[in-house]
Chain A
Amino acid sequence: METELMSPAGNFESLQAALNAGADSVYFGVEQLNMRARATMNFTTEDLQEIAARCHASNAKAYLTLNTIVYDHDLSLVKTIITEAVSAGIDAVIASDQAVIANARSLGMEVHISTQLNITNLETVRFYSLFADVMVLSRELSLRQIKAICDGIRTEQIKGPSGKLIEIEVFAHGALCMAVSGKCYLSLHTQNSSANRGACVQNCRRSYTVIDNEEGHELEIDNEFIMSPKDLCTLPFLDQLLDTGVKVLKIEGRGKSADYVQTVTACYREAIDAWKAGTYSSDKTDHWMKRMEEVYNRGFWGGYYLGTELGEWTNAAGSSATVRKIYLGRGHHYYPKSKIAEFKIETYPLSVGDRIMVIGNKIGVVETTITSLHVNEEGAKDTAQKGDLCAFPFEQAIHPSDKLYKVVPAEQTNE
């Protein structure tokens, strides 16, 4: 059985990064009816053709999230979006509202059940098998419970509309919610901004003080951000997770940057391939974990899969990533024969030996280290300053919209 690695895309940079890093499928949202409606970088329906084309060119599938709660005034937009997705060749819609599920089925679109429906048992799988071929399970289940559901699908031959056995999907990596996945009222309660319409303001990520109303004593609870879970990471026990029989591993993060998508997708790609080849080992896991610690994270824990511990909470407000990227400048020209890229430096100096990252809509994310620099008309130099045009060897063609970043240890930017 093939395992499918599903990556998030909030824009074309992330989409390309996911495909370059080896994702088997990509999920994304358009317009306002998805769980990242607040993100300014959402795609529009006009992007559907290009998204499908890019995914299919990489032999990957493209899934459209349409998983908020839906009101009467949204029904026409739902139909419009699904109709356009069908004609663009999008492979499936990820849905939770029954109106969306019914609409997608009537328009001949494959349906995947969203985490917003929180499937936690086999009978619910059987119920939704009338409409959907792939279902993501609730993030709160243990490995044992997941295995029981996967086994049940096989022994009871529960099939979806396609006639194939239901495929079970689970979240493998990314942010966790303090509430049962997504079913949270906190953001609506304090900011009138509903998480269930994709507008969560993430106020759970802050620190809170408990006040004794009788005597006014203020308590900070063990100095922890008690409503902010660490990020889910299943890499250290990916073999056990895959052994349950799950088919699709989903990475959270449509609101995250392209380099995050690239790094996390690449690590899970290598891990899945190693598991298939029988070479998955703790040495390799250590290496992947180090790489993933470099990008945005709130610290890692195994979620509820191992079933032994309740929540683990973060002890910091933001990311614990071990490296940061600093914006240096934009693409200027590419010399394809000599494979030299030229950038205009707009902010900080770039030196030989620096680790860099180029991020753009077409190339996704490409990392390398500067081995030589040619600055303005002055020839080879060790450092390029703000305002300089600098050139260096770079394997892939760059574009004027591509951004150049320097990658530095996190401590260096905190000083």
Chain B
Amino acid sequence: MITITQQRARCIGCNYCVEAAPHRWRMSKRDGRSVLIDAKERRGFWTVKVTEEELAANEKAAQLCPVKIITVKQL
């Protein structure tokens, strides 16, 4: 399993995470920030546990994020 976390309030809506991992991320039409699909929020941090298959794409998303608010951890 891997854990993906997003500090959503600091998102600037650049869309890169969606380009890198379109199955895990989408852009919100409501506030223009990215949404980590199926994630739960705790104190501003949105977290979801997913399988190893998604590791590479989400590591790419974390690397591309210009404001560095995405982390991917292997459990």
Contact = CB atoms under 8 A, between A and B. Distances in A.
Contacts of B1: none
Contacts of B31: 31, 76-77, 80
Contact of B12 (A75, A76, A80, A198): A198
A32 B9 CA distance: 10
Contact of B32 (A38, A74, A194): A74
B26 to A, nearest CB: 9
B17 to A, nearest CB: 11
Interface string A12-26: 000000000000000
Interface residues of B, number: 19
A76 B32 contact: yes
Given A71-B27, A76-B32, A38 B64 contact: no
Counting chain B CB atoms within 10 Å of each CB, the highest count among A32, A77, A80 belongs to A32
Nearest to B27: A73
B12 A32 contact: yes
B14 interface: yes
A37 interface: yes
Interface residues of A, number: 21
B44 to A, nearest CB: 13
Contacts of A193: 66-67
Interface in B1-29: 10-16, 27-29
A251 interface: no
B66 A199 contact: yes
Contacts of B32: 31-33, 71, 73-74, 76-77
A198 B11 CA distance: 12
A190 to B, nearest CB: 11
Contact of A199 (B15, B30, B63, B67): B67
Nearest to B33: A32
A40 B28 CA distance: 21
A202 interface: no
Contacts of A74: 13, 32
B25 to A, nearest CB: 11
Given A32-B32, A32-B33, A33-B32, A73 B13 contact: yes
B12 A199 contact: yes
B4 to A, nearest CB: 18
A73 B15 contact: yes
Interface string A182-204: 00000000011110011101000
Contacts of B27: 71, 73
B67 A73 contact: no
B27 to A, nearest CB: 4
Main secondary structure of the interface of B (DSSP, over half): loop
Main secondary structure of the interface of A (DSSP, over half): loop
Contacts of B64: 192
A351 B7 CA distance: 44
Given A73-B27, A73-B32, A77-B31, A191 B66 contact: yes
Contacts of A40: 10
Contacts of B29: 73, 75-76
Contacts of A76: 29-32
Contact of A73 (B16, B28, B65): B28
Given A192-B64, A192-B66, A193-B66, A38 B12 contact: yes
Contacts of B30: 76-77
Contacts of A191: 66
A179 B14 CA distance: 21
A231 B63 CA distance: 33
A37 B10 CA distance: 9
B28 A194 contact: no
Contacts of A199: 12, 14, 66-67
Nearest to B28: A73
A197 B12 contact: yes
B16 A192 contact: yes
Interface string B29-50: 1111100000000000000000
Contacts of A80: 31
B66 A71 contact: no
A38 to B, nearest CB: 7
Given A31-B31, A38-B67, A198-B12, 4 more contacts: A77-B13, A192-B66, A193-B67, A201-B66
Interface of B: 10-16, 27-33, 63-67
12 contacts: A32-B11, A32-B12, A32-B32, A33-B13, A71-B32, A76-B30, A77-B31, A192-B63, A197-B14, A197-B66, A198-B12, A199-B67
